[in-house]
Chains A and B, each alone.
Chain A
């Protein structure tokens, strides 16, 4: 056999052919390339790339968190942008009120997102299928309207932040390159965290429930509880991305939690390859690049983007990672 094999423990120690090296190749390459980007910019790549990729990585964190519940758990949430927006607004409001310290802001972000996730998750997960999609959409909309109604914090026009968060009193996020690596670090940490969770006992139940919830419950697991925990975890990670987004744009607005934003997050996950985790990162990068390029051509870029999404859904399977697998598999034979 030409593929790497790993043996799993068992009485007769059978070998499981795992394409172990190939599975790791994509994420390693991905993070490696990202880490080298500032170097490339220093060597002549336009600095616009730095801003764009930072933004893309922030959305990648949100898309990654969505992949946990959507790709792995099979829960199609159309309100995920709400968590990003809540994180961003919590950050923006605290900074506006003079509390710019990250160590104060983060616990608040996580607490608010956690409570929101628990309450809306509990109600939403009592339903299934299409109803779940509709309810998450409605809850996302609720948060959007709430943000619009906050006239003290900009209302519909949004809120400009006069500074970024500080870390232990220092202006840690002010330097563009420094901030890039902070975001990259958070992305890497979240990616590893989600991978560990998916491979864990908890993750196995979540994965299994996606395909056959009945079987999982007659085995003795409480499926709604498992899904709720996953939902809250994904909400916390998305809230974290909102904190980073507020810092990058130095601006928060209700548009951060609009339902088209939730739709875009879903598209990023699907574009990259549902359930693959690093696919969500690739999808976010691809999406933001495409948006950047198209928006440069015409103000009506959505008229091109919309059909692209439709065609993508109609004619492809497995997203970009699926495509890479097919290309890779061809070479191995």
Chain B
């Protein structure tokens, strides 16, 4: 294990963390404001990636493709909100879970029917290709830096909107007391739609940005979704700050765990046992961390104030 490798893996962990943050932020917002658990959120991430594949392919331009993909994802997300989600806000969580589960089945299969089951990808845009030289002569892909950077920028934008704008204030108020906000004359349906649109865009953006470096395939959203759940549980439901911290923790622990578990175990056991145990342990690691956090603080690390 060299310093160079460690730095690269830390950066990879940050990158995964940023992606998780983008997905988890939308999820926790929707949950915090509308008390709505949306299992199909991962599908929105997946759609962002697939739409990026299509639009970048059509236009030949990464940026243009990205913008079109986001627009299309927003339209689809709003359509789903209108057709399905809207009718579930008043239902209990069991109904929400089941209905959104049905949606996942539909959309995962639909994606397979439209784009085929084989993994697809998006070429890294020319202006972001190449590497950045870090110390020790280590090279790190420029695109991954761009991903981290753009994710942080979006995060900052989100923070600004939620903390400093009127809409954000309504969001925070709605998160702790939706009926009261409604009684104040705010159109709660419009507010919900805005929250939902935000969430969809964040997830789709994450998916589109991830498309050049991860493989785009049916069901890619499911794993991200479950990791996003871990992020939210660790960070605290309804809390964007919690989602950020949780995402970084999950991203780093998962990435570093997978890279170095083998080496760590080799200190204690033989190479083949270390490899077997390492594979098992590293995939379970993040869930063990989640269990420990919950054991100590069931409400999460940075729970949003005002939630019961």
Contacts and interface: CB of A to CB of B under 8 A. Distances in A.
B37 A133 contact: yes
Nearest to B238: A130
Interface stretch (A23-31, A195-203, A301-309): A301-309
A266 B233 contact: no
B98 A130 contact: no
B97 A266 contact: yes
Range class of the A interface residue count: 35 or more
A152 B276 contact: yes
B283 interface: yes
A222 interface: no
A126 B93 contact: no
Which secondary structure characterizes the binding site on chain B? helix
Interface string B87-127: 11001011101110111111111101100000000000000
A260 B219 CA distance: 11
A42 to B, nearest CB: 37
B294 A313 contact: no
Contacts of A312: 102
A123 B295 contact: yes
A102 B159 CA distance: 58
Contact of A145 (B101, B110, B112, B284): B284
B179 interface: no
Given A123-B294, A138-B290, A306-B109, A76 B84 contact: no
Contact of B98 (A131, A148, A309): A309
Interface in A63-98: 70, 76, 78
Contact of B287 (A138, A267, A302, A305): A138
B226 A259 contact: yes
Contacts of B31: 130
Contacts of A322: none
Contacts of B240: none
B74 interface: no
A313 B102 contact: yes
Contacts of A148: 283
A134 B98 CA distance: 13
Interface in A132-155: 133-135, 137-139, 141-142, 145-146, 148-152
B162 interface: no
Contact of A309 (B93, B99, B107, B284): B99
Nearest to A140: B226
B98 A270 contact: yes
Contacts of A152: 276
Contacts of B290: 135, 138
B93 to A, nearest CB: 6
A250 to B, nearest CB: 25
A318 interface: no
B112 A309 contact: no
12 contacts: A134-B37, A134-B232, A138-B226, A149-B279, A263-B98, A303-B110, A305-B102, A306-B102, A310-B102, A313-B102, A314-B87, A314-B88
Interface of B: 31, 35, 37, 84, 87-88, 91, 93-95, 97-99, 101-110, 112-113, 222, 226, 229-230, 232-233, 237, 276, 279-280, 283-284, 287-288, 290-291, 294-295, 298
